[in-house]
Structure 1
Amino acid sequence: MELQQLRYVVAVAETGGFTRAAERCHVVQSALSHQIAKLEKELGARLFDRTSRRVALTPAGEAFLPAARQSLEAAERAAAEVAATTGEIRGTLALGAISTIASVDLPRLLRDFHTRYPQVRISMTAGRSELLVEEVRRGTLDLAFLGVTPAFRAKGVRSHTLARDRHVVMVAPDHPLAQEGAQEPLELARLAEETFVDFAAGSHARAQTEEIFAAAGLHRDVAFEASHWEFLAGLVRNGMGITLLPSAFVSQLSGVCVLPVRDGPQREERLVWSATRLTPAGAAFLRDLGVMVGE
């Protein structure tokens, strides 16, 4: 069994066909098909069902695919570790981030990292903090930028706090609160009288607000939920409700009125990475941020 054969299997599974897989791997289709047939003979099982219309994994192929991917990742990590001993950083850097990251200029950070380490292949995934932590724990991501409550703890990862912030309320310019909040910070009890737009229930972005209202014994009405801040801002801008967002982030938005809140939710932006596995590229990224790997 050869690594190249594993690459061909993964390519066929991901592209859904031998022709597209051959194009991705830069080989002729006959050579790719021959190597997969050779591997199937060695394994004693067909990995793909082939018809004139489609190519699909067999049950044996479904069982083989995760192990093939893990083997390829392990081989790539091994090569990167060897290169790192000579001072060369290569391999992959898989990052995750929330959409409201404000403590770092992530695009510029990635540009500078790519310039310094051009042989590192960088990928980026956006998502909710709780899901990103799980991806780091599983090894799918090397590092992730989170936005969480101060009390948030996650097992199996190390973390570094990048910034601490408080939420502010965002309303439409013609909303009655725009006048009230201009005089002094708004009370939570006053905000609870209004209709809210917010992130999905169960997310850390939502929990930061839910916890502070629950602690004050207050109930609020969330009429609209959204998975992205742009849609939330659009709803607020059009008078469909108010929302609470980190102060460092809302300064980037236009067409809304931003007001202070007394005893509002607190938020931390953190960078997390695996407690057991860190690639040379991941370690280099942490060093660029001035973060000690052993934190």
Structure 2
Amino acid sequence: MELRQLRYVVAVAEEANFTRAAARCFVVQSALSHQIKALEKELGVALFARTSRRVELTAAGEAFLPAARASLEAAERAAADAAAATGQLRGQLSVGVIPTVTAVDVPAALGVFRRLHPAVRIALRVAGSDALEAALAEGSIDVCLLGLPENRHPRGVASRLLVTDRHVAVLSREHPLAENSQLQLQDLAQEKFADFPAGTPGRAQSDLAFTTAGVHRDVAFEAMAADLMVGLVRHNLAVTLLPSRYAPTDPALVAIPITDGPSRAEYLAWSDFNPSAAARAFLDTIE
């Protein structure tokens, strides 16, 4: 069994097509097919069910795939660790970022890191804090920036608090409340809100604040993209709550402090279980 054979199996499984998998692996299709057939003969099982139009993993292929991926990742890690021993970082760095990160200028930090370690490939993932926290715990990303309710700390990972921030109400300048210098949650009880999906950490901080204040609100629009929520506000379709450090500077909008509004804490988080050299170097860059 060879690493290239494992690489070909993963490519076919992900592409569901031999031609695309061969192009991805920079080999001719006949060579890729030959190597997969040789591997299947060695294993004594068929990894793929094939027709002229369709390719699917068999049950044996489904069982084989996770270990194949793990073997490829281990091989890449071994090569990266060997290079790191000579002072040159290689391999891949996976960074997870929430949509409303403010504590770190991520492009600037990556720019510094890239100049220091040009051989490291960088993968970025934008998602909610719950998804990033789970991905970090299972090892599919290396480092992430999280935003959580102030009373909720990252779970199952190493972390460092970067900043806390209070939310503000973001309204269209045409909104009747736009001239107020400050608001209470009760003042927004009759409004239509744009917010993150129910159950996400980005939503939890606002839900908790309204529940504590005994105020019911109507979340008419749910989205994971903060810029989309701001667009809804700009057209006066809704109001939203955002961290004050993230609130946009836009002549069509106003950001108003909320006296009993929610707070958010931003964390730098990472796995402390055998972090890669690239992950350790990126943490040093953030520091």
Give the TM-score taking structure 1 as reference length.
0.93
Distance 1:23 1:189 in 2: 59
Aligned residues: 287
> What code does the residue aligned with 1:263 have?
D
Task: Tell me the distance in 1 between the aligned counterparts of 2:50 and 2:210.
Answer: 57
Alignment gaps of 5+ in structure 2: none
Alpha-carbon distance between aligned partners in 2 of 1:198 and 1:157, rounded to the nearest angstrom: 27
CA contact (8 A) 2:234 2:252 kept: yes
CA offset at residue 275 of structure 1? 2.7
User: What fraction of aligned residue pairs are identical, expressed as a percent?
Assistant: 52
User: 1:161-212 CA deviation, whole Å, 9 max, x = no partner?
Assistant: 2221110111111111112x23xx2122222233322111111111111111
- The 2-side partners of 1:155 and 1:260 are apart by 30
Aligned to 1:213: 210
Report which stretch shifted further, 38-47 or 210-219: 210-219
In 2: Cα distance, 1:229 partner to 1:34 partner: 48
Alignment match, 1:231: 228
User: Would you identify which runs of 4 or more consecutive aligned residues in structure 1 move more than 6 Å?
Assistant: none
The aligned runs of 1:101-180 (5 Å cut-off) are 101-179=101-179
CA distance in 1, matches of 2:17, 2:217: 52
Structure 2 partner of 1:83: 83
8 Å CA contact 2:170, 2:256 repeated in 1: yes
Contact 1:171 1:258 in 2 (8 A): yes
CA distance in 1, matches of 2:33, 2:251: 55
Query: Structure 1 residue 262 and structure 2 residue 259: aligned?
Result: yes
- The SS at the match of 1:140 is coil
Q: Distance in 2 between matches of 1:148 and 1:50?
A: 46
Closer, same or farther: CA 46–203 of 1 in aligned 2, 3 Å: same
Contact 1:187 1:262 in 2 (8 A): yes
- Name 1:282's counterpart in structure 2: 279
Separation of aligned partners in 1, 2:33 and 2:211: 61
Q: Distance in 2 between matches of 1:202 and 1:97?
A: 18
Unmatched tracts of structure 1, length 5 or more = 291-295
AA aligned opposite 1:158: A
Deviation at 1:280, TM superposition (A): 0.7
1:201 aligns with 2:198: yes
Aligned-residue Cα RMSD (Å) equals 1.5
Q: 1:123 to 1:79 in 2, by over 3 A?
A: same
Offset at residue 30 of structure 1 (A) = 2.2
Q: AA paired with 1:162?
A: L
* 1:247 maps to 2:279: no
Return the offset for 1:253.
4.7
Cα offsets for 1:124-158 (capped at 9, x unmatched) = 11111001000000001111111111211233201
Per-residue CA deviations over 1:73-104 (Å, capped at 9, x if unaligned) read 01111221222222111111011111111122
> CA contact under 8 A between 1:156 and 1:276: conserved in structure 2?
no
Amino acid at match of 1:117: H
Amino acid at match of 2:130: E
Aligned to 2:41: 41
Give the secondary structure class of the aligned counterpart of 2:284.
helix
Deviates further, 166-175 or 187-196? 187-196
Q: Give 1:26's aligned amino acid.
A: F
